[in-house]
Copies of this chain bind each other. A is one copy, B any other.
Amino acid sequence: MDRRQIKTRTAIYDALTGLLRKYRFEEITVQQIIDEANIGRSTFYSHFETKDQLLEQMCKEMFSHVFSDTLAPEKSHDYSKNHEDMRALLEHILYHILDHKENIRSILNGESEKVFTRYFTEYLESAFGEVIVHMDVDVPDAFKKQFVIGSFIHTVKWWIGKGLKEKPEKIIDSYMKCLPGKNE
């Protein structure tokens, strides 16, 4: 890839990241990003079709970092049988989020939250989808799935929204205590 392209692209990413610390995504205009990034208007549009597409790609990249090493190498684990494995994975995710906290925190302000939620759900479904249904509670599988994943994502958002002050271990501990059908 051309050095100039890389330079432009990171300039845009940095600009948006910076702006997100001050404004909600919807409030930010393309012109602001352009000015902040110090690039030409047409340059922006030669990289991204719209502001939303920029956000989309930023989230995609971020999540691919956050989850890159959590899914693949631990395929052999069976989270339904080994609760400690599940605990470890969830903590792992939270630590990754902690690494990206500046970005994630900003994205969670406003509409852009949806993109976050979408990618997060997608990932969790592929990570847990099959095994969650083995949990020992007498409710339909589909319900179980939405409950476990939904409450986890909500918990993570809550944790981020409160400033990531508590330790991941503590959050996961509380979360797992609240989950149904542990060892009965």
Contact = CB atoms under 8 A, between A and B. Distances in A.
22 contacts: A26-B111, A137-B177, A137-B178, A139-B173, A139-B178, A143-B171, A143-B174, A143-B178, A146-B154, A146-B155, A146-B158, A147-B154, A147-B174, A147-B178, A150-B150, A150-B154, A150-B155, A151-B151, A153-B154, A154-B154, A177-B180, A178-B180
Contacts of A144: 178
A73 interface: no
Interface in A139-184: 139-140, 143-144, 146-147, 150-151, 153-155, 158, 171, 173-175, 177-180
A166 to B, nearest CB: 9
Interface centre among A137, A147, A178 (most CB of B within 10 A): A178
A175 B147 contact: yes
Per DSSP, chain A at the interface is helix
A84 interface: no
A158 B171 CA distance: 24
Interface residues on A, range: 20 to 34
